[in-house]
Chain A
Amino acid sequence: MQTQAAPSPPLVELRGITKAFPGVLANDHIDLTLRGGSVHCLLGENGAGKSTLIGILSGLTRPDEGTITIDGVDASISSPRRALERGIGTVHQHSTLIPALTVLENLMLGDTRSLRLDESAARDRLRELARQLGIEIDPDARAADLALGHQQQVEIVKALWRGSRVLILDEPTSMLTPQGVAELAKVLARLKEQGQAVIFITHKLHEALTLGDEVTILRQGRIAGRIARDAMRTKPHDELRAEIVRMMFAEDPAAVADVAELQEEVVEARAEPRVDPGADVVLELRHVTAQVEGTERGIDDITLELRQGEIVGIAGMDGNGQRALAETIAGQRRATHGDVLLFGASIVKLPVSSRQKLGLRYVTDDRLGEGIVGILSVGLNLFLKRVGESPFWRHGRIQRAVLEGRAAELVREYDVRTPFVTTRAATLSGGNIQKVLLARELSFEPKVVVFHKPTYGLDVKTTATVRDLIRRLAADGGAALVISTDLDELVEISNRIAVLSRGRLVGVVPNGPGAAEQVGELMVGGAGLEAA
């Protein structure tokens, strides 16, 4: 439709966007120009201000200063509905579909223009959009039954439903399999043909380089650099990568070295030194079965051993019983059958708090939903698993000085970027919230730790830090069970990798050359449907 060579006139322009939260300047005079038929990548560490900027553009947050012009006309975006009316659609990181409804029902739900639900018109619209995007969607499938990649396609259709011209994709690849990413790339190409302006947020540099036409890098709320269309097209990827990394982490040359290494796309299976087979078994699951209410999957007859000093990875597509497994070990979910043993003693009847005292910890994947209490301070959040315990509470009374002192130490030790320990936890960025969780779980003598998607949504630097923490835990005589949907991650840090499929363990692979392929086969063999 549009010629690819000549850049089209600006569709949306942000000028001097500034937004402050108590103690933090999340956006400091940000300028951004979006053009039709172009994918604009937004890169930056956790807390660089990407989410705030997206929030402003999608109407969730109002800027303190700055202007937004659409087609050269001043436009205020005061609510998400207003954003949609102005042609800005957003696909959020997490699914906003209602699982029990069909695809068509989900799509009609967002359409409040008329009281009557016009099903046949909606069907036509879906067919038209699907044709434009080159995808196939069953309008009558329940959202819950779709694979994540397909759910995301529905989300994209939903964002385009009312004729959006600007599409915001917030970390769209973080939950996708490699095949899913490839399909998304095709959809992106179609969107460009349609003249859509796309904002693409990612942590993965190679995605920015392959999928983006322009790149803007944010750091500490400001624009740290841009790479324009011409440069993206002409310069070699290596050179661009080095440039981006320098702009992202300029203040920290050491981090640049780490990150540059991490960003090599080829992940080699590292033959981890085998754990001494005579090492003590610290955690043992015997035929554990647990049910989950709703559409999520439970676990069925899981048997697994974890030895001292060992890191065992649990691979599998999301939704194959990961949450049930983690919660059953942590004590948040009752096992209907089987036994869980910690250091040889059964803990299956113990409540969460007793298991914590024995050194069993759980770093949840649902960081905002259950990991923190947003309205409480960072300091309190660091000790919420020790409420009432001395020396932070004495005779039930809180000892604020002791607590805040120790919290400040933890904040330093784990490099949590927060203005004060008294800052409300909800204002922290995703990466810093994860650091709060890690600080909480890994302090006070952790022995066996369950990590659930420990680096999901984190920037490269924080990811490296988290993986180091896991390795250090194992090296210091602890043990870790790492549940992750990121196979590269498991290959990088695990001694063994078990594959979870449809609530069952379908195999355990010792890490080493070829492990990734074996795990991949088990994943696909066991869950052909989910591997979309």
Chain B
Amino acid sequence: MTVADEAIAAPRPRPRRSLRAERLLDVVIRSIVPVLLALLAGAVLLAALGRDPVTFYKNIWIGGVQGSAWQDSAIRMSPFLLIAAGLTLIFRANIWNLGYNGQFLLGAALVSGLGPHLVTDVPLWLAFVVLFLVAGAAGALWTLVPAVLKARYGTNEIITTLMMSFIGIDIASILIKGPFHDPTTPLPQTAVIPLDKMLPSIPATRIHIGLLVAFAAVLVVHWLLTRTSWGLRLQVMGANPRAARHFGIDLPRLIVVSFLASGFLVGLAACADIMGLWGYIRTGWNPAYGDTIIPFVFLARLNALAVVPFVAFFSVLSTGGDLAAQQANLPTDFLLVLVGLILIFMTVIEFLGRQRDLGASYVPAGLRTAFRLRRPRP
């Protein structure tokens, strides 16, 4: 009646490296496949609209990469990267700072308002440092109310940050029309900062040094999240707030500090964009970078380094896309369709992956054995 039990062997642990490689491969597949599928679906859509998808994608390449076009794409990257860093940090804590537009525009308004005076009154390098800090502080300050409300009373930060964002956008508008208005023009805009007083370029390129600031911020955020005790606390809070309380982590303080850091980075993005690219601000201008960047922050699985290639990809797409859309006689909003498609495919693949449970691959069993993703069993 009983089965012999000598057949029970010791558990068979697999070597660690293959486990890591497997996980890495899994992550790569889950991040890149949605992008490819979106481009494919976009091609189908283009064909259905009577446009040639090959020409469209080729024009994106021409307008976003070829020649010196890659430099235009790179210039777009700096605010994207800084916002992505700020969002990565706060999303890791499972806190939803959705007030980035208000934080960004307040920073931008202050930089555009104070910049024209500051660059002529103090040494240029000092002006840049002060402007970056002012913009960062403005962004951080604008997260303070949601942060304290959440830390103190557990108020839902999605609502409070969104509300604060609207208020921030309006205040920015008031600032531009009021104290920061350029009296030499009837248009509601600030004084234009002269080209030679803007952020200098990286030698031999047209790319302003805001990109370096952005890369530095990404590296710092990645280091904070992966190597430090602060990053671990943040991650624990994000993964399981009840556990965090059980472990004795000071949650209210951590919530406020991570909010401030996130807002600060969004503020830096505003300064880089104004001082590196635009030189002034007009009312009604709201690039809403954060809205387009969020999908990529998730595609990068909240990894600050992994976000870089995605941001680069999107910068190329949006820089070259302007040209491609124009040539194909499509609105530039078509690019947002592509972003939307990425989001949809990401969700689908995430769902399939979840179904196969606990980080296992969603690739069908036959393919898995074919590619030796998992050792076939006897």
Interface residues of A (CB under 8 A from B): 18, 20-25, 61-62, 64-65, 78, 219-220, 222-228, 231, 243, 247, 250-251, 330-332, 351-356, 362, 364, 366, 369-376, 380, 384-385, 387-388, 393, 396-398, 417, 419-420, 422, 424, 426-427
Contact = CB atoms under 8 A, between A and B. Distances in A.
A299 B138 CA distance: 46
Interface residues of B, number: 41
B123 interface: no
B11 A419 contact: yes
Contacts of A393: 228-229
B367 interface: no
A23 B2 contact: no
B204 interface: no
B358 A426 contact: yes
Contacts of B248: 331, 351-356, 385
B239 A373 contact: yes
Most chain A Cβ neighbours within 10 Å, of B229, B236, B355: B229
Given A25-B11, A370-B245, 16 more contacts: A22-B14, A222-B8, A223-B3, A224-B8, A227-B1, A227-B2, A231-B1, A332-B246, A362-B246, A373-B236, A373-B239, A384-B247, A388-B230, A393-B229, A398-B227, A420-B13
Contacts of A78: 355
B250 A351 contact: yes
A371 B232 contact: no
A259 to B, nearest CB: 16
Contact of B229 (A374, A388, A420): A388
Given A369-B242, A419-B11, A65 B358 contact: no
Contacts of B355: 62, 78
B1 A332 contact: no
Contact of B365 (A21, A64, A351, A353): A64
Contacts of A356: 248
B246 A387 contact: no
A226 B2 contact: yes
A384 B232 CA distance: 9
B217 to A, nearest CB: 18
Contacts of A65: 365, 377
B232 A224 contact: no
A226 B3 contact: yes
Given A371-B246, A419-B11, A420-B13, A398 B232 contact: yes
Given A219-B5, A332-B246, A422 B359 contact: no
B229 A396 contact: yes
Interface in B213-250: 227-230, 232-233, 235-236, 239-240, 242-243, 245-250
B243 A373 contact: yes
A374 B239 contact: yes
B363 to A, nearest CB: 12
Contact of B5 (A227, A231, A247, A370): A247
Contacts of B245: 332, 352, 370
B122 interface: no
A227 B230 CA distance: 54
27 contacts: A20-B377, A22-B22, A23-B13, A61-B357, A62-B356, A62-B357, A64-B377, A219-B5, A220-B11, A225-B3, A226-B2, A231-B1, A243-B2, A247-B2, A330-B246, A369-B242, A370-B245, A373-B235, A373-B243, A376-B236, A387-B229, A388-B233, A393-B229, A397-B229, A420-B13, A420-B16, A424-B358
B374 interface: yes
B19 interface: yes
Contact of A371 (B7, B22, B23, B243): B243
B247 A385 contact: yes
Nearest to A351: B248
B228 A397 contact: yes
B372 interface: no
A417 B11 CA distance: 10
A435 to B, nearest CB: 16
Nearest to A392: B229
Given A225-B2, A396-B230, A364 B365 contact: no
Contacts of A228: 1
Contacts of A330: 246
Most chain A Cβ neighbours within 10 Å, of B22, B250, B377: B377
A470 B9 CA distance: 32
Q: Please provide the 8 A-B residue pairs with the shortest distance between their CB atoms, ordered closest to farther.
A: A353-B248, A352-B248, A388-B229, A225-B2, A370-B246, A370-B242, A419-B13, A370-B243
Contacts of B23: 22
